[in-house]
Amino acid sequence: MNLLDDDALERSSVVANCRMNRERRLPGYDRELGINVVDTLRSRRRPVRWLDLCCGTGNALGQAADLLGDDAEIVGVDLVDFFARPQRPPRLRLVTASVVTWEPEQPFDLITCVHGLHYIGDKLGVLARIGTWLADDGLFVANFDVRSIRLRGGTPAGRHLTTSLRSQGVRYDSRARRISWTGRRLIDLPYRYQGSDDQAGPNYTGQPAVNSYYDRLSWGASY
């Protein structure tokens, strides 16, 4: 198998898929993430900060900015510059960048990613980076398909991965295919990224997705 590095993957037509999160609005976010985004933000101290990765057009973020006003700072990051809403800093800021390399300037109270992890190469590396972007009591929640993490030869990482995640304080709901945790943390997983396959075919959403390949290491030898 010819695995792609992240630069090559981001040029793939599979990653440019416009059917997943491009036009999604707040009710769709609530349904996919299993939380009420606005209520979650309102429950936090003011001003609250929300980061949405792979935000698509940013429709949901614009809706939240309208509802929360100056009580919130909302940042959306997407690989494609196809935003539908005008920016209104500091209330709403939309950034064209790769989530593999982008870095925030301040921690966030809520970080979300609706179906975006399906199209990222080094998924575990991105999860580890997100862990350092949360406030001490912040919440991260995203769609995540553990079957997209493969070992050399194509075997799914499976239970070993979910056990490793849970040992780091990470929650994984296998039925909803949803990953989450609370609070800033250093996530140290025993896997080394090798590359990705954009020809993996449809995942549970019915849309083509990306499988990510790793070598499994002994503990303490990861990223």
CA distance readout (Å), 127 to 17, 76, 132, 189, 194: 21, 17, 9, 10, 16
- Residue 195: per-residue pLDDT: 96
Hey, is 144 helix, strand or coil? coil
- Residue 223: per-residue pLDDT: 47
Contact 178, 34 (CB under 8 A): yes
The rounded distance, in Å, linking the Cα atoms of 190 and 219 is: 5
Tokens of 214: 């790793």
Q: With a cut of 70, which residues of the chain have pLDDT below it?
A: 17-23, 218-223
Tokens of 172: 């994984």
